[in-house]
Amino acid sequence: MKKSFLIVAIAACVLFNNVSFAQNPPRALTGRQLAAMFPPGVKSPECNKDGTVTFRFQAENALKVELNCQMFEENKAMTKDEKGVWSITVTPPAPDIYPYCFVVDGIQVTDPNNVLIFPNENFKNSLVDVRGPVPDFQDMQDVPHGKVSYRYYHSKNVGFDRPMCVYTPAGYDPKGKEKYPVLYLIHGMTDTYETWFKVGKVNMILDNLIAQGLAKKMIVVMPYANPYPEMMRRGSATRMDMMGTDLFTKEILNEVIPFVEKNYQVRSEPGSRAIAGFSLGGRQILACGLGNPDKFQYVCAFAPAIFGNEVSNNFDNGTYAKPEVISSNLKLMWLSCGTSDFLYQTSLSLHNSLNERGIQHRTMFPDGGHTWMNCRDYITEVAKLIFK
């Protein structure tokens, strides 16, 4: 009686976040009891041998549980078994890494049994990694691996220490004679400096491209584009203008680049600097890159959030350099957007604006929406082109 109470109590504690251990500490327990603490068999997500994926979620008392997964346009109803485990088995449209969550009586819930999380300021999704029969560039393969480092630098621009992720390729020697080109890679709105690493898989993509001789060895710098959450936390009096790009450009030019060029073996001529960004990050890198073609010779916009007459205004008011200066400096101007992305029409407008001004650029307008599945394809193609 006492023993089984202990086991049940402890299992409950583990499931409920170890919170109540301190509250009702069992006096002592055996290894068998600890083993019994192990959460029962809710395995989720499970990639099955036939290519399907099963999602499971324990919720005895929920009335309705749905799967919200970017594999599909609509939520999918899950069904409950006699143990209170809701599940669904689905066939993914293609192997890829998809964000998902459970919708439990209308509330979005991260999968508690999955360690893969989508870093974001305003929602929490899990990630399901569906592998195909042939490894993709985004899959970890048995090739030499670079590393991703979490670095911290003091920003005089905003007045506090800030994080960034930095990818260095396998064999990078911080004291060697070889100097590397640098890609500055910017996330989307409400994403964080971790999103290109954890969701964009840029380190795995580059490990594989470099191992296959398809991309140059390069360093990838992923700063936190938007300091607003930290400014809010500090009760900053500074006006926050999410759509403004000045604070971003200043941070990149005056803080991020100097930190990188001081701490890494990098080439600092403009032909060895690329800047790329997704969504709001696309808006930001257009301002920073097209505004400073003497500093970046590769400017790559992925579904950029730039609208209506803003492009014309930016050329007129000097946010962007003169078209002829851009044309004579840039080695690559890139624009990509999915044809069902909500920013597709504005991307086409940008495409036309660049054409009207005689700015050569490469485009990629594949299927798909405003997703990280598309982003990984964009960065894969861009990584093959830059610094060559």
Ranges within 329-348 binding a second copy (CB under 8 A): 338, 340-342, 344-346
3-class state of residue 65 by DSSP = strand
* Binding flag, residue 22, a second copy (CB under 8 A): yes
Considering Cα of 259, then 264, then 267, then 273, what sign does the dihedral take?
A: negative
* Binding flag, residue 26, a second copy (CB under 8 A): yes
> Site residues for a second copy, window 54-83 (CB under 8 A)?
59, 61-62, 68, 70, 73-74
Residue among 135, 131, 78, 83 at smallest CA distance from 102: 78
User: Cβ-count burial of 164 within 10 angstroms (0-12 exposed, 13-18 middle, 19+ buried)?
Assistant: buried
* Binding flag, residue 365, a second copy (CB under 8 A): no
Return all residues near 4 (Cβ < 8 A) that are at least 6 apart: none
* Binding flag, residue 140, a second copy (CB under 8 A): yes
* Binding flag, residue 5, a second copy (CB under 8 A): no
* Binding flag, residue 178, a second copy (CB under 8 A): no
CB of 195 to a second copy, least distance (A): 10
CA-based end-to-end distance of the chain: 72
Q: Of 92, 112, 270, 323, which lies in the binding site for a second copy, with binding defined by CB under 8 A?
A: 112
CB of 192 to a second copy, least distance (A): 6
Bridge partner residues of 163 (DSSP): 152
Distance CA 86, CA 84 (A): 6
* Binding flag, residue 317, a second copy (CB under 8 A): no
User: In this complex, which beta carbon is closest to a second copy, that of residue 195 or of residue 329?
Assistant: 195
Distance CA 159, CA 175 (A): 30
**Residues contacting a second copy: total by CB under 8 A:** 101
> Site residues for a second copy, window 261-290 (CB under 8 A)?
280
Q: Of 8, 94, 214, 243, which lies in the binding site for a second copy, with binding defined by CB under 8 A?
A: 243
Return all residues near 37 (Cβ < 8 A) that are at least 6 apart: 7, 10, 11, 13, 14
* Binding flag, residue 237, a second copy (CB under 8 A): no
* Binding flag, residue 231, a second copy (CB under 8 A): no
> Site residues for a second copy, window 141-160 (CB under 8 A)?
142, 145, 147-154
* Binding flag, residue 364, a second copy (CB under 8 A): no
> Site residues for a second copy, window 86-105 (CB under 8 A)?
99, 101, 104-105
Q: How far is CA 34 from the centre of its chain?
A: 37
Distance CA 286, CA 301 (A): 7
Structure tokens at 127: 């990630």
Structure tokens at 12: 């409950």
Which one of 187-195, 246-254, 285-293, 318-326 is the stretch in contact with a second copy (CB under 8 A)?
Answer: 187-195
